């Protein structure tokens, strides 16, 4: 019984540590709207990680109004304040469309490096969106631990439909 309790305590300690790593990684996020960090773990080892931000070589969120910058011909026809207000409204209603999400960045790095994520666990500071949840399923992630809920719960619903455990820590 003592060994079993020690094993449970060790598993809980690992969850705390890996979530703390995800939280530290979120500090590297380049989207000022929400900083998110993610770490993928397999066999008790971190195998890949990511944070949210603009794809390499593209403008950061604050440089292009979170991806809501309009084509010049449309923007020029509008008052500059009206264009900024429109971008802010789109951001509030639909979120940032410039940043790649932390979990997607982690999966992409693993794919580029030939690191298998099959049967791995994801620790992420914000629950996955619907698109990231589909990527996680396709990448073989078997369990997701998250700190806070995403504004749209459909990502968690998709994970649950795929029998992937999603647990808020």
Active site residues: 103
Identify the CA nearest to 48 among candidates 118, 124, 119, 117.
Answer: 117
Please enumerate, as own/partner, the contacts of 117-122 that have beta carbons within 8 Å and a separation of 24 or more.
117/40, 117/42, 117/47, 117/48, 117/141, 119/42, 120/40, 120/41, 120/42, 120/47, 121/18, 121/40, 121/41, 121/42, 121/145, 122/38, 122/39, 122/40, 122/41
Structure tokens at 3: 């060994």
> In angstroms, what is the C-alpha Rg of the chain?
18
């Amino acid at each position: 019984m003592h060994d079993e309790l020690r094993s449970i305590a060790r598993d809980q300690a690992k969850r705390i540590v890996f979530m703390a790593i995800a939280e530290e990684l979120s500090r590297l996020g380049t989207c000022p709207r929400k900083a998110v960090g993610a770490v993928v773990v397999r066999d008790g080892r971190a195998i890949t990680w990511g944070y949210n931000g603009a794809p390499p070589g593209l403008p950061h969120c604050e440089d292009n109004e979170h991806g809501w910058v309009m084509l010049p011909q449309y923007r020029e026809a509008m008052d500059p304040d009206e264009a900024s207000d429109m971008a802010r409204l789109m951001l509030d209603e639909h979120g940032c469309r410039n940043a790649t999400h932390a979990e997607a960045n982690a999966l992409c790095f693993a794919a580029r490096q030939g690191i298998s994520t099959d049967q791995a666990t994801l620790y992420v500071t914000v629950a996955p969106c619907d698109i990231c949840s589909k990527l996680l399923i396709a990448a073989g992630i078997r369990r997701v631990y998250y700190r806070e809920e995403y504004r749209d719960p459909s990502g968690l619903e998709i994970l649950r439909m795929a029998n992937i455990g999603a647990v808020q820590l």
